[in-house]
Structure 1
Amino acid sequence: MGVKIEIFRMMLYLSFPVTMFWISNQAEYFEEYIIKRKREIFPVHEEAQRKELEAFKERMRLRKEERMLKSLSVNSEN
C-alpha cells in the first residue's frame, strides 16, 4: 500500500505545476487578460502621452551620452 500512495502523491505533486503552466500559457488566456490589461495601462490612442514618453526617452538618451562623453574625456586626459 505504501508504494501506491507514494506514486499517487508524486503524480499529484507533478501534475499541479504542469497543469497550471499549461493553463496559463493558453493563447486565449494571454489575449484576454494580458494584452487587454496592457492596453488599459498604456492606451494606444493617447498621442500626448506617446509624445511625452518619446521626449522622456530622448532626454534620458542625451543624458547618457553626456555622461559617456564626460567619462571618455576624463579617461583620455589621464
Structure 2
Amino acid sequence: MGGWKMEVTKMAIYMAFPVTLFHLFNQPELFEGWVTQVRRELYPPENKMHREEIQECIRKMREKDDKKLLQLLEEEKKKHLV
C-alpha cells in the first residue's frame, strides 16, 4: 500500500474530478440559448389582439352569469311573494 501522500493524492483527485466536471458543464453560455428558446415557446410574448379577445370573452361570460343569477333571484323573489 502507499503511504499517506498517496492517500491524500487519491482523495484530492476524488474530490477535484466531480467539482471540475460540474464547473465545466454548468457554464451558462452552454445552455443560455436553449433556455431562451424553450422559454419563448412555452411563454410567447403577449399579443395585444389576443389579450383584447380574452378580455372580451371574460366580459361576455360574466354578463351571461349575471343574467342567469338575476333570473334565479327573480324566480326566488316570486316564490316568496306568492
TM-score range relative to shorter protein? 0.3 to 0.5
- The structure with the larger Rg is 2
Q: TM-score, normalised by structure 2?
A: 0.45
**Which protein has greater RCO, CA pairs closer than 8 Å, 6+ apart?**
1
Q: TM-score, normalised by structure 1?
A: 0.47
